[in-house]
Structure 1
Amino acid sequence: MAASDNLNVFADWAIGLMEALGSIGAGVAVAIENLFPPIPSEVVLPLAGFTASQGTIVLWEVLVWTTVGSVVGALALYGLGAWLGPVRLRRIVDRMPLMKVSDVDRTEEWFARHGAKAVFFGRMIPIFRSLISIPAGVQRMPLAKFTLLTAAGSAIWNTVFVMAGFLLGEQWHRIEQYADGLQVLVIGAVIVVVSLFLVARVRQRVKGTDVEDSRATNPEPARDIEPDDLPDAAITGSHGTMER
């Protein structure tokens, strides 16, 4: 019941925007959805397609404006990442438990190799659709490249859902159950990856603590210095002193 109520709330909100602004309202809704991921694009986009099927707004305009809205929302988050920057990010990570500054370095190296693919395909993955813009900003991916990749990936995602709503008509809300399934899979994968990371990091910390405790409890015994351990200069100097 709660999920149905939320769907109705989002639907009413999106309908109000489209009634007031036409196709531009669909773009505004998508831009806001990018900034606030809990607002599901899987509701806004099919509903825009359904509205277009009723002749209230024009289909091609919906496709254009929803893509523009996606780019605008992504650019706002890109700007947040650019403001954050690598230096601030390292300071934040350094203060977080179980995190290391080297994690940022590895992420930067990965993004330098795969950033273009991450931005393009990330636009088609729930949750990551919005979040992928932040590391792109942190790494200062060239703005034109980021905008182009975002527009291309968003156009594909938006077209699929808008056209589904257009073709399903009054049954547009059926798309939500499939989109929810995809979102659950993504969230489940994220939970698994984060859990494995935390377990591995805790084990590293515990192992490091055990090694330090062992060294403190059992320090290496001192040993006599043998002549072979001394440099030749020290031996020569010692002999010279003895001769004098």
Structure 2
Amino acid sequence: MTAASSVLPAALAPTAPALHAAPDLAAAGGAAAGLGGVAEWAVQVMETIGAPGAGLLVALENLFPPLPSEVILPLAGFTASQGNFSLAGAIFWTTLGAVLGATALYWIGAALGRRRLRVIVDRMPLVDLHDLDRTEAWFERHGRAAVFFGRMIPIFRSLISIPAGVERMSFLAFVLLSTAGSLIWNTVFVLAGFYLGENWHLAEQYAGVFSRIVLVTVAVLVAWWVVKRVLRNRRGLSDAARRERGEP
């Protein structure tokens, strides 16, 4: 029994450090460890390409909104905190990617042009050219502010670039305002991901609440506009029918 008891601890001794080392090995698996879906893919791109990969993802997010910046930007900060690239590099490349994506949409709007847009609007139900005229007049007065603040509002981040192109807003002014707005938005989320570390998803959760508020607000406004327009059209038809019958 004495010999067995002396051999048994010696045999078990090497396994204890191995058990304690398991978390370290998991942490060494890269920032993508434990993630899934879009988040895992985004981190893999950033780990493979570096900070330019973060910029590429943000540029794609402008063109394909299902890639949410509220996920990509905190992940860029988190990946920077793992030492894959610098914090300054993450902010620079994500802002450059945002501006490039916005510029692509600007030129799509410019290629569409006011004439083609008016033809499209004229064929749309519930919308008439008077609505477009009012929208163009509003954009002429508030377009610069819309581009700047629009870069910090989900949904509108991408959409605002198209009317800027349609209206042929000064390209230099568009780039400067897009850069300023994107720099503020990106810096906030990249810093959040950098300092939150593995809790980067907290930034995404709060941004998700903000996005849902924006979505609900837009949905309510659209529903209100549609109802108002349908009622207006029905009143117009009723008035026209009364006039045809000679009624006052």
* Residue equivalent to 1:223: none
* Residue equivalent to 1:32: 60
Task: Pick which of 131-140 and 169-178 moved more.
Answer: 169-178
* Residue equivalent to 1:150: 178
Q: TM-score, normalised by structure 1?
A: 0.86
How do 1:36-115 and structure 2 match up within 5 A? Answer: 36-115=64-143
- Runs of 4+ more than 2 Å apart: none
Which residue of 189, 198, 216 maps to 1:170? Answer: 198
Tell me the distance in 2 between the aligned counterparts of 1:8 and 1:149: 35
**Count of residue correspondences:** 214
TM-fit CA distance, 1:8: 2.5
* Residue equivalent to 2:163: 135
Is 1:16 the counterpart of 2:55? The answer is no
* Residue equivalent to 1:231: none
Code of the aligned partner of 2:36: N
Q: Which has the larger radius of gyration?
A: 1
Note the residue ranges of structure 1 that are not aligned, 5 or more in a row: 1-6, 221-244
Q: CA RMSD in A?
A: 1.1
Tell me the distance in 2 between the aligned counterparts of 1:79 and 1:163: 31
CA deviation map 1:166-206 (0-9, x unaligned): 00001101112111110111011111111111111111111
Tell me the distance in 2 between the aligned counterparts of 1:35 and 1:60: 24
CA deviation map 1:60-117 (0-9, x unaligned): 0111000000000000100111011111111101101110011111011000000000
Tell me the distance in 1 between the aligned counterparts of 2:176 and 2:142: 16
Tell me the distance in 2 between the aligned counterparts of 1:82 and 1:91: 15
* Residue equivalent to 1:188: 216
TM-fit CA distance, 1:218: 2.1
Percent identity of the aligned residues?
Answer: 58
Note the residue ranges of structure 2 that are not aligned, 5 or more in a row: 1-34
